[in-house]
Homo-oligomer: A and B are copies of this chain.
């Protein structure tokens, strides 16, 4: 089984780390190489996930900088080990050559351009399916409009030549409409509107998101269970996030930061309660390079209301935290698609700050849900079909059938673009 991993924002830090990392894994680069990959835990053995070595990477980006150049910066910053460069160079060059120019916005045309790129990629590499993952720069917060509420209205607007959604949602539309899984690792709109949920269900495909949970929120949702199970009441949780790197630079734009902050705040409110004071800030601090430092200050009440304090400083390398999760998500999502699942993959809430289809934020509960869900793949008998049955053999979009995840036989080519399936199917 060969699966495509199509990265929106492929030339960024995460994309480059994913590419270099898979190359190092393929080269057998030491016993710590798979550290951080959830799908490599014993709990997920025997699920017939696509092996990392069978992932073929492609993507969209707006930037012209070469992935090799980016990788050198990541070595300097201590994100990639120095021995990575010579080993990863061929892979970086090969993937770089597959990166197509992305879109900044647009309507029907942009969607079709994206689908043509996905189609060509699937064709060329003879892929079982292609998982599309958004790791592009966070977009400014988009207003949710009435036209986002149902698919008919959205299609009508697109047909009328309007541009009713931001770029992330165009990528999501293109992927889902082509019967492909879509994952949003950013807080951008992506698939998180009812119209696109409808589209995913109609095309019989899956989506998951959003905003990868890699640092401050990871800790928050781990400690939430601690406070909860000890009946200790959190009364405030304040945070300051300092970021260098490309992501930091993008978030220095306060409109973009707004999307991130909204995602963070939503989770605090849902984890604790709406009356917990939870101020949170993001700052771009260029000299941190590819690193991130988050300070969290937590006040909680103990017996008889006695107030106590906990402080956490997290110094992580965001790309090294995110990259393995992107690979995990591709593996789990491809498996779910091929097993015939449909709609939002709420069982992947474990990976996200703002989980679509779920309002469970406690990390331990999310993990158990993930383990239980994935366990069903062990016997292969998920929702009436082995991987082969679910995965191939009939055109996803062409006949609207659930239980199909294929690019090879149908997918993009037949249902998606050539036959005009997108509009017909809607």
Known contacts A230-B38, A233-B35, A297-B295; A303 and B316 CB within 8 A of each other: no
Restricting to A308-343, which residues have a CB under 8 Å from any CB of B? 308-317, 320-321, 323-324
Restricting to A52-111, which residues have a CB under 8 Å from any CB of B? 75-76, 78-82, 84
Cβ-defined contact, A313 with B316, below 8 A: no
CB of A21 within 8 A of chain B? Answer: yes
Complex: A321 Cα to B307 Cα, angstroms: 11
Cβ-defined contact, B310 with A314, below 8 A: yes
Cβ-defined contact, B320 with A303, below 8 A: yes
**Which chain A residues have a beta carbon within 8 Å of chain B's beta carbons?**
17, 21, 24, 29-30, 32-38, 40-41, 75-76, 78-82, 84, 218-219, 222-223, 225-226, 229-233, 235-236, 238, 240, 242, 277, 279, 281, 283-288, 293, 295, 297, 299, 301-317, 320-321, 323-324, 350, 363-364, 367
Contact of A41 among B81, B219, B231 (CB under 8 A): B231
Contact of A222 among B79, B223, B303 (CB under 8 A): B223
For the complex formed, measure the closest distance between the CB of A37 and the CB atoms of chain B, giving whole angstroms.
Answer: 6
Complex: A314 Cα to B302 Cα, angstroms: 13
Of all chain B residues, the one with the shortest Cβ separation from A328 is B231
Q: How many copies does the complex hold?
A: 4
Known contacts A225-B364, A364-B225; A35 and B302 CB within 8 A of each other: yes
A-B contact pairs, 11 of them (CB 8 A): A30-B305, A36-B232, A40-B231, A78-B78, A226-B363, A238-B285, A240-B297, A277-B287, A285-B297, A302-B317, A309-B314
Of all chain B residues, the one with the shortest Cβ separation from A276 is B287
Complex: A38 Cα to B284 Cα, angstroms: 31
Contact of A238 among B40, B230, B231, B240 (CB under 8 A): B240
For the complex formed, measure the closest distance between the CB of A164 and the CB atoms of chain B, giving whole angstroms.
Answer: 33
Chain B residues near A30 (CB-CB < 8 A)? 305
Contact of A240 among B29, B281, B307 (CB under 8 A): B281
Chain B residues near A76 (CB-CB < 8 A)? 82
Cβ-defined contact, A287 with B307, below 8 A: yes
Chain B residues near A233 (CB-CB < 8 A)? 32, 35
Of all chain B residues, the one with the shortest Cβ separation from A277 is B285
Complex: A235 Cα to B287 Cα, angstroms: 7
Chain B residues near A41 (CB-CB < 8 A)? 229, 231
Of all chain B residues, the one with the shortest Cβ separation from A20 is B304
